[in-house]
Amino acid sequence: MQANTKDIKQISVFKTLLHAKSMSENPINFFQSNLDESDGIIECRLPYHFILTDRPEIIRQFFQKNHKNYIKTKIVRNDLGRAIGNGLLTSNGDYWLRQRRMIQQGFNKQRLKVISTIMVNEIETYLQQVMEPLAEQQLEIDCTDEMAALAFRIVGKSLFGQSVNEQQMQLMREVIRQVQEFVVDCLRKPYLKPLYFLSGYNRRVTKLIERGNEMILNIIRTRKANNQKEDDLLQMLIESKYEDGSSMSEQQILEESIILMVAGHETTAMTLSWTFMLLAQHPTIEQQLLASILQAIGGAQPSMTDLHKLDYSYQVLEESMRLYPPAWIVDREPLEDDTVEGYSVKKGVDVAAFIYGLHRNEKYWPEPDKFDPERFSVDNKKRHKPYTYLPFGGGPRICIGQHFAMMEMQYVLAMLLRRYRFQLTHEAAIELHPLVTLRAKNGIRMRVSKR
Ligand code: HEM
């Protein structure tokens, strides 16, 4: 221990091994009980050596106050970066800052207005082609699968507009699904990496990535060559200029497109799925939400000017992300030693913000497990303590797609709920399955019927 610093409670390897099986399926309870017994900060040695915390002031130091000292971890930079490219989510330092400044300008209100129309059209097409036949026959669906398909269509069309067809979208989705699976396999079972290499798993994934990249590069080249102008995110990436007036290379546009697709579909899909589950479990809140939607837009298609009237759906989504934050853990690597709230953080030991635990900490959230969208009313929000609610992260690396995501999710809720009823088909509690995002162990099975 350094002079004047407190010890961080160490979780012994033995204790971790005792819980190894449950940990590998769901480490949340293990993390939570250990944090509760300590000062909200612990040091774990398995499966990696890292410091974990659910204390707002400590998380703030990592994300905001001393953010330059805390870069993305090797897992994100190397494992994920190698698979999906060096873009906003995976890059660091000056390169990241230059990309962020430029792309941020493109996510402006004007662009979101155009994307808003793309979103509503995509949701409507999905409702007619997929949901309507399912609801007519009152079939059981896995809500997480359905929302993943819908969210992927929305982000794919927002990016590539008319330049992408159904077949290409399906290939992109398949590539991203398999690449994500590969990255998770490498993280969870790093000792099997030689086997992945020998069995040809590596090569298969590399080939798939090359096929996906080639297809997207073709879309980019065709768009540039034809001088077509479309109002989508690809156009924004092509037209965006750095401060010196230069533009991104094709490779950079490719990498940023893939990053937007990866970062922008599973997160919204999971939030929507958890929200449908919560609404089915809380019929009074569902009724209140439905009434507010009908009062705001009736049967008309929503647009950006309606968003402020759909404020209760915003509250419902915020509360849903408090209980089920898709990014349930967010990690960083310290470049230099640091002292945070009296604790010493060492270079070389990663740090992780336990967002799930932060959002369910009763110091900041009375009756933390209760679903209560009133927590996010205008007045109640003023009373929230800083850094106690971080579904989109915080500081300079806060999610660039948060307004995109909130708009999309408000539209999906409004357009689906007024037409269909979603009922859970299983009595048993839905178990958590925290992977890269916070998923449900066996999906969320629901019966969909027409209202
Ligand atoms: C409910 C939906 C979403 C949630 C909960 C979410 C959450 C997050 C979080 C927590 C981060 C910060 C990660 C970190 O600090 O390490 C992040 C970053 C990011 N998100 Fe999202 N996200 C959502 C939707 C989207 C959408 C729709 C897009 C794009 C269309 C997107 C694009 C990104 C990108 C590019 C970054 C990296 C930003 C940077 O480092 O500069 N996200 N997101």
- Burial level of 259, CB count in 10 A (0-12/13-18/19+)? buried
Count H helices and E strands in the chain, helices first. Answer: 20, 13
pTM: 0.95
In a domain, 1, yes or no: no
Q: For 224-240, how does the pLDDT look when each residue is reduced to its tens digit (9 = 90+)?
A: 998 777 889 999 999 99
Ligand 1 closest atom vs CA 394: 15
Check pocket membership of 330 for ligand 1, CB cut-off 6 A: yes
Distance CA 11, CA 168 (A): 47
Average pLDDT over residues 177-204: 83
In a domain, 3, yes or no: no
In a domain, 162, yes or no: yes
Distance CA 154, CA 408 (A): 8
Average pLDDT over residues 99-118: 91
Share of residues in the chain with pLDDT > 90 (%): 76
Band the pLDDT of 324: cuts 50, 70, 90: very high
Query: Tell me, what's the pLDDT at 75?
Result: 85
Check pocket membership of 345 for ligand 1, CB cut-off 6 A: no
CATH of the domain at 174: 1.10.630.10
Query: Tell me, what's the pLDDT at 16?
Result: 74
Distance CA 105, CA 10 (A): 44
CA 13 / ligand 1 centre spacing (Å): 33
CA 416 / ligand 1 centre spacing (Å): 24
Distance CA 330, CA 354 (A): 7
Between vectors from CA 376 to CA 374 and to CA 380, what angle results, nearest 5°?
85
CA 404 / ligand 1 centre spacing (Å): 10
Find where tokens 């019966």 sit.
Answer: 447
The interaxial angle of helices 250-281 and 201-226, nearest 10 deg, is 110
In a domain, 133, yes or no: yes
Bridging pattern class, strands 420-424 and 445-450: antiparallel
Task: Return the half-sphere exposure (C-beta side, CA atoms, 13 A cut-off) of residue 313.
Answer: 31
Check pocket membership of 173 for ligand 1, CB cut-off 6 A: no
- Burial level of 326, CB count in 10 A (0-12/13-18/19+)? buried
Query: Tell me, what's the pLDDT at 67?
Result: 97
Query: Tell me, what's the pLDDT at 255?
Result: 95
Q: Which residue has the higher pLDDT, 128 or 5?
A: 128
Average pLDDT over residues 403-415: 98
- How far lies 23's CA from each of 30, 198, 442, in Å? 7, 28, 17
Band the pLDDT of 18: cuts 50, 70, 90: confident
CA 96 / ligand 1 centre spacing (Å): 14
Check pocket membership of 161 for ligand 1, CB cut-off 6 A: no
Distance CA 269, CA 248 (A): 29
* Count of structural domains within the chain: 1
Answer whether 186's CB lies under 8 Å from 260's CB. Answer: no
Average pLDDT over residues 128-136: 97
Domain with 15, as residue range(s), is: 9-450
In a domain, 196, yes or no: yes
pLDDT greater than 80 at residue 187: no
Pocket probe for ligand 1: among 399, 404, 412, 439, the residue whose CB has the most ligand atoms within 8 Å is 399
Average confidence score pLDDT of the chain: 93
Token code pair at residue 128: 């007619």
Q: For 270-322, how does the pLDDT look when each residue is reduced to its tens digit (9 = 90+)?
A: 999 999 999 999 999 999 999 999 999 999 999 999 999 999 999 999 999 99
CA 391 / ligand 1 centre spacing (Å): 9
The interaxial angle of helices 402-417 and 143-160, nearest 10 deg, is 130
Sorted by sequence, the CB contacts under 8 Å of residue 201 that are 6+ apart come out as 182, 185, 195
Check pocket membership of 180 for ligand 1, CB cut-off 6 A: no
Query: Tell me, what's the pLDDT at 25?
Result: 75
Distance CA 92, CA 98 (A): 10
CA 268 / ligand 1 centre spacing (Å): 10
In a domain, 140, yes or no: yes
Q: Which of 215-229, 262-276, 296-310, 404-418 has the weakest average pLDDT?
A: 215-229
Name beta bridge partners: 331.
352
Q: Which residue has the higher pLDDT, 224 or 64?
A: 64
The amino acid at residue 116 is: S
Band the pLDDT of 202: cuts 50, 70, 90: confident
Pocket probe for ligand 1: among 267, 323, 411, the residue whose CB has the most ligand atoms within 8 Å is 267
Check pocket membership of 89 for ligand 1, CB cut-off 6 A: yes
Assign 358 to helix, strand or coil.
helix
CA 399 / ligand 1 centre spacing (Å): 4
The torsion angles phi and psi of 88, rounded to 5 degrees, stand at -50, -45
Check pocket membership of 448 for ligand 1, CB cut-off 6 A: no
Ligand 1 closest atom vs CA 63: 15
pLDDT greater than 70 at residue 425: yes
The torsion angles phi and psi of 377, rounded to 5 degrees, stand at -70, 160
Alpha helices in 161-188 (DSSP H): 166-188
In a domain, 188, yes or no: yes
Check pocket membership of 326 for ligand 1, CB cut-off 6 A: yes
Check pocket membership of 92 for ligand 1, CB cut-off 6 A: no
Average pLDDT over residues 342-348: 95
In a domain, 327, yes or no: yes
Query: Tell me, what's the pLDDT at 3?
Result: 58
Query: Tell me, what's the pLDDT at 181?
Result: 85
